[in-house]
Amino acid sequence: MRILIIEDDKKQCWLLQFRLEQEGYQADTCTDGRDADHYLERSAYDLVLLDRMLPHKDGLTILREMRKRGDHTPVIMLTALGELGDKVTGLDCGADDYLVKPYETDELLARIRCLLRRPAHLESLDVLSLCDVVYKPEENQLTGPAGTCTLSQKEGELMRLFLRNPGQTLSRQTIQTRVWGVDYETLDGNLDNYIYFIRRRLKNAGSTLSIKTVRGVGYKLDTGADDV
């Protein structure tokens, strides 16, 4: 599972990254609010740890922009701003959790485990559109130039994950965590079968979108354009 740490204190970044990797997570670090956009657009993460006070762009702005563009990646805000109003503002902007500094690392790890147990079907059911397709999660229907087809629940959750992350390579572990949950054991063959199913759905809908295999890593949704 991949975690992005957005924190301007370089020592804190390093210590947190070290502890997360000890726990078996992959962790990237970013110390500048403006650079955070690059990390979030380039890669899909399972969780973001976000400070509020950052150079060039503050954490609340980053969070609002994530939610506005349909990025529902779980976010824990880690900040010294601990007044009730600060917490309410952070949660209302889209944070999934809010932890005030200084905090105990063991408590943070417990909150991370809690959020990563949450499968994708608990996320927003907003209608998604990309290129020549529209996906309606509530009906589990995909519509393209050739018509409409109905997806199963897991097919729909996979489709939603790819549509929210076009052009980004999603590791097999990331896909498993987002769709089946961190505690669920998904056989590689089972995941491959579901990828085949949604490729067939895109083809039946007449879409130009395609799911590409990234050898040794996972899959990505190819829009036919340059990398997103």
Residues in the chain: 228
Q: Same structural domain for residues 36 and 96? A: yes
Render pLDDT for 19-30 as a digit per residue (tens, 0 to 9): 999 998 889 999
Which residue, of 95, 116, 137, is where some domain finishes? 116
In a domain, 99, yes or no: yes
Q: Same structural domain for residues 140 and 50? A: no
Cβ atoms < 10 Å from Cβ of 122: 9
Q: Same structural domain for residues 105 and 137? A: no
In a domain, 67, yes or no: yes
- pLDDT reported for residue 11: 92
Q: Same structural domain for residues 183 and 129? A: yes
In a domain, 48, yes or no: yes
Q: Same structural domain for residues 52 and 142? A: no
The total domain count for the chain is 2
Side-by-side strand order, sheet with 75-79:
26-30, 2-6, 47-50, 75-79, 97-100
Comparing CA positions, the residue from 27, 179, 181, 20 lying closest to residue 116 is: 181
Residues 151 and 132: their CA atoms lie apart, in Å, by: 17
Q: Same structural domain for residues 9 and 42? A: yes
Q: Which domain holds residue 13?
A: 2-116
Beta carbons of 115 and 76 less than 8 angstroms apart:
yes
For 140, the token pair is: 């589990």
Beta carbons of 186 and 174 less than 8 angstroms apart:
no
Render pLDDT for 163-217 as a digit per residue (tens, 0 to 9): 988 888 888 888 887 787 655 565 667 888 999 999 999 999 999 999 999 998 8
Q: What is the CATH number of the domain that holds 188?
A: 1.10.10.10
H/E/C letters for each residue in 97-135? EEEECCCCHHHHHHHHHHHHCCCHHHCCCCCEEECCEEE
End-to-end CA distance of the chain: 22
Residues 113 and 108: their CA atoms lie apart, in Å, by: 9
Q: What is the mean pLDDT of residues 64-74?
A: 83
In a domain, 157, yes or no: yes
In a domain, 227, yes or no: no
Q: Say if strands 141-144 and 147-150 run parallel, antiparallel, or are unpaired.
A: antiparallel
Beta carbons of 211 and 142 less than 8 angstroms apart:
no
In a domain, 87, yes or no: yes
Which residue, of 83, 116, 149, is where some domain finishes? 116
In a domain, 66, yes or no: yes
Comparing CA positions, the residue from 162, 160, 154 lying closest to residue 128 is: 160
Q: Same structural domain for residues 23 and 91? A: yes
For 111, the token pair is: 């909150």
Q: Same structural domain for residues 132 and 110? A: no
Is the torsion defined by CA of 47, 53, 58, 60 positive or negative?
positive
Residue 75 CB partners (closer than 8 Å, separation 6+): 47, 48, 49, 50, 63, 66, 94, 95, 96, 97
Q: Same structural domain for residues 28 and 105? A: yes
Q: Is the pLDDT of residue 134 over 90?
A: yes
Render pLDDT for 190-203 as a digit per residue (tens, 0 to 9): 888 999 999 999 99
136: helix, coil or strand? Answer: strand
Q: What is the CATH number of the domain that holds 13?
A: 3.40.50.2300
In a domain, 228, yes or no: no
Which residue, of 65, 97, 116, is where some domain finishes? 116
Q: Same structural domain for residues 61 and 136? A: no
Q: Same structural domain for residues 132 and 112? A: no
Q: Same structural domain for residues 17 and 52? A: yes
Render pLDDT for 97-119 as a digit per residue (tens, 0 to 9): 999 998 899 999 999 988 877 65
